[in-house]
Structure 1
Amino acid sequence: MQTALATIFVFCLVVVVHEFGHFAVAKLSDVKVNEFSVGMGPRIFGKKFGETEYSLRLIPIGGFVKMEGEDEDSEDGRSFNKKSVKARMAIILAGAIMNFVLAFVVFGIYFYGVGSPTTEISEVSSGSPAYEAGLAPGDRITEIDGIAIDSWGDVSETIGKLGEKELNVEVERGDAVESFKMTPELNADENRLLIGISPEMESSIGDSLSMSGKTLVEVIGLMFDFIGRLFTGGVGTDDVSGPVGIIYIVGEAAKTGFLYVFYIAGLISVNLGFFNLLPIPALDGSRFMFLLLEALRGKPIDPEKEGRVHIVGFLLLMMFTVFITYKDIIKYNLF
């Protein structure tokens, strides 16, 4: 039940936010929206409000916003194909942009929940260099060998930079300032020098937003790296997960705690936004490329021809999804 709830939450969150991006900018551009759907395949539920039908479909692998004149020619003055190229580009890009915004928000919630490390010590490992030297929980590190310490990152960086030699660690203990001498030890598992202390964590909106932005940039960078390795043969189908794999990953995250589900939701949201921007037929990136061609040519591509390209792309994506689903079942030994 926990896995099911977490999976429904993540899928609905990332898909609804993505489609809402298209929907909101379409409405702002006065485009007629015929349907807003979460999921693909047969319709489970549908309700019409105004000119738009809102539906829930059986297969939870995506969703869509069906706009008048998007895949067919239409003479309606409010159709997608009657709007300017800039307006249509904005509508197409809005889904991925909203996924990146969502990732920033949920990463921020995650980092606020777990807290950020401070320079105050929360725990000293028994038998460690810090323990033998006399450091204690509650001490706040201010200097290491004369180098000012302002963050936990400074602690790790300074110890690593100074190397395996005796260090003079200065701390605030109550109202007093005390110094302790110790020599870091190399941790073979982490391949770095440690003195055996853990930081006190505190929740800060500023630090959470900073970490969120940093994480978002890092994940997008990893996506570019993945695409590069895909073309050089550095990755294979075993490195790709589909809906079944995502359900498994979300389920494992839910066992750790629902807060970690937010982190996974952020990763999935970045992946969805990035993947949709790739120039693959049926995806937003392909539609954007057709609009770019229209801007360069000064006239639109035949909507029926473009529609056929997207239909073929959609069928290929469905086939690939079935293949990846089979691989996920084997990889995670689900049967």
Structure 2
Amino acid sequence: MNTIAISIIVFGALVFFHELGHFLVAKLCDIKVNEFSLGFGPILVSLKKGETLYSIRALPLGGYVKMEGEDEKTGDPRAFSNKPVGARMAVVISGPMMNLLMAVILISLIGFFSGVATTKVTVIPNSPAELAGIKDGDIIAAIDDKKISSWDETVSIISQKPNQTLEIEILRNGEKKEILVKTEQEPETGRGVIGIKSVVIRYSPLHSLKTGIQKTLWASSMILSSIPRLLTGRGLSDLVGPLGIAHMVGEAARVGIFNVLYLTAFISINLGLLNLLPVPALDGSRLVFLFVEFLRGKPIDPEKEGMIHFLGFALLMLLMVFVLYRDFMRLYM
């Protein structure tokens, strides 16, 4: 039951932030919003405030912001289709951008409370680092001429080079020094190590925000590099549906709240970036249509565009059913 409750909270937060991005920018652009919904299907709870119906629906597999004139022709000057192309692009892209912002916020919160690993180090006695001349308080600036901006980069580079000599540039009292360090191989993992630990800074908004941005950009680059595999069909086996995500959330919850927040941030990045793909019914496809309209100087028929998005949505639902079935067979059979 705890897993189900936590999963619902995670799914709800992801969908809410995504749709909130669309909703807020639509309001800023004076677009009439008919409904803000979490979920699909029959309405469970609803509240009408002003011109907008706020609802929670039975199937918690997504959500939507229904704007006047989004998929049909209308003479309402406040309709989505009657706004300038730039305003409509801003509304469409704001959902994925809100997901990326959500990831930055979550990772920053984790860093604020649990601490941010910096490139300032403490040295383990009699380690390769100490024997080479690295001292407590030194800052790792570069390794083999590669500039270092985070502790994760430091660990990644050193771990990939066991039993090799590294040229490490450190900052000591504002002065640069070049130090040659021979790595050792860690028996358990085979990774390269030199015997340094990061100085962790807690309760620092600036360091936490910097880490949140860096890790979000890093995760985004990793996800983007995997998209070609997904589009060619080779990455379909890596797709995980709601059941798979709920299972991962449950596993993360057993470790602690920070693991749940990290997982939520990573899923949010995935959701934001995948929504930018030019697939009908996704935000990326709507951006393509708007870009074509900008080049043509006139809009594409909203009803024809709406039909394409409807067909795309139907295909995405079929894919969702397939992924749900595969997750069920993998986890429960």
TM over 0.5: yes
Q: Is the 8 A contact 1:129 1:183 kept in 2?
A: no
User: 1:195-206 residue pairs with structure 2 within 5 A?
Assistant: 198-199=197-198, 201-203=200-202, 204-206=204-206
Change in Cα spacing, 1:151 to 1:23, as seen in structure 2 (3 Å) is closer
**Identity score, percent:** 43
Is the aligned partner of 1:315 residue 2:311? no
1:310 alignment partner, SS class: helix
Q: Does 1:327 align with 2:326?
A: yes
Determine the C-alpha separation between the residues in 2 that align with 1:78 and 1:19. Answer: 19
Note the alpha carbon deviations across 1:24-49, whole angstroms, 9 max, x for none. Answer: 11111111100000111221111101
1:54 is matched with: 54
Paired residues of 1:129 and 1:195 also in contact (CA < 8 A): no
Give 3-state SS (helix, strand or coil) of 2:332's partner: coil
**2:261 alignment partner in structure 1:** 262
Secondary structure of 2:78's aligned partner: coil
Q: 1:43 to 1:77 in 2, by over 3 A?
A: same
Counterpart of 1:207 in structure 2: which amino acid? H
Asked if 2 retains the 8 angstrom alpha-carbon contact of 1:113 and 1:259, the reply is no
Q: TM-score, normalised by structure 1?
A: 0.81
Q: In structure 2, what is the equivalent of residue 297 of structure 1?
A: 296
- 1:14, 1:151 → 2: CA distance? 27
Q: Secondary structure at the match of 1:140?
A: coil
In the alignment, the residues of structure 2 paired with residue 86 and residue 297 of structure 1 have an alpha-carbon distance, to the nearest angstrom, of: 14
Residue 271 of structure 2 corresponds to which residue in structure 1? 272
Change (3 A) 1:73 1:252: same
Cα drift, residue 195 of structure 1:
5.2
Partner of 1:5: 5
Query: 1-side partners of 2:238 and 2:84: how far apart?
Result: 40
Distance 1:154 1:82 in 2: 48
Measured in 2, the distance between the counterparts of 1:81 and 1:188 equals 63
Q: CA deviation at 1:199?
A: 4.6
Is residue 29 from structure 1 mapped to residue 29 from structure 2 by the alignment?
yes
Please, which runs of 5 or more residues in structure 2 have no aligned partner? 166-180
Show the 5 A alignment for 1:1-335.
1-117=1-117, 119=120, 121=122, 130=127, 140=136, 142=138, 163=163, 185-194=184-193, 198-199=197-198, 201-203=200-202, 204-231=204-231, 234-235=234-235, 237-331=236-330, 333-335=331-333
- Tell me the distance in 1 between the aligned counterparts of 2:10 and 2:159: 39
Render the CA deviation track for 1:125-144: whole Å, top value 9, x for unaligned.
Answer: xxx9549x99xxxx935499
User: Mean alpha-carbon deviation: is it higher for 221-230 or for 84-93?
Assistant: 221-230
- 1:334 is matched by which residue type in structure 2? Y
| Cα distance in 2, alignment partners of residues 247 and 192 from structure 1 | 32
Give the root-mean-square deviation of aligned CA atoms: 3.4
Q: Letter of the 1:140 partner, please give it.
A: D
TM-score (norm 2): 0.81
Change (3 A) 1:248 1:28: same
- 1:103 to partner: Cα distance: 0.9
Between the aligned partners of 2:304 and 2:281, the Cα distance in structure 1 is: 13
Task: Describe the shift of the 1:247–1:74 C-alpha distance in structure 2 as closer, same or farther (beyond 3 A).
Answer: same
Q: Distance in 1 between matches of 2:279 and 2:182?
A: 55
Which letter does structure 2 place at the counterpart of 1:222?
A: M
Secondary structure of the structure 1 residue equivalent to 2:48: strand
2:250 maps to a residue whose letter is G
Deviations 1:47-98 (A, max 9, x none): 1011100000111111000001101111112111111111111111111111
How far apart, CA to CA, are the structure 1 residues paired with 2:248 and 2:160? 34
Asked whether the equivalents of residues 121 and 139 of structure 2 are also in contact (C-alpha less than 8 Å), the reply is no
Q: What does the per-residue CA deviation read over 1:176-198, in whole Å, with 9 as the maximum and x for residues that have no partner? A: xxxxxx98531144433335665
Report if aligned partners of 1:184, 1:194 keep a CA contact under 8 Å in 2.
yes
Query: What's the counterpart of residue 170 of structure 2?
Result: none
C-alpha displacement at 1:232, in angstroms? 5.1
CA distance in 2, matches of 1:196, 1:273: 38
Amino acid at match of 1:21: G
The Cα offsets for residues 131-188 of structure 1, whole Å up to 9 and x where unpaired, read as 9x99xxxx935499xx9x99867985689889568xxxxxxxxxxxxxxxx9853114
Q: Which amino acid aligns with 2:20?
A: F
Alignment partners' CA distance in 2, 1:323 and 1:154: 38
Question: In 2, Cα distance between the equivalents of 1:227 and 1:103?
Answer: 19
Structure 1: tracts of 5 or more residues without a match: 166-181
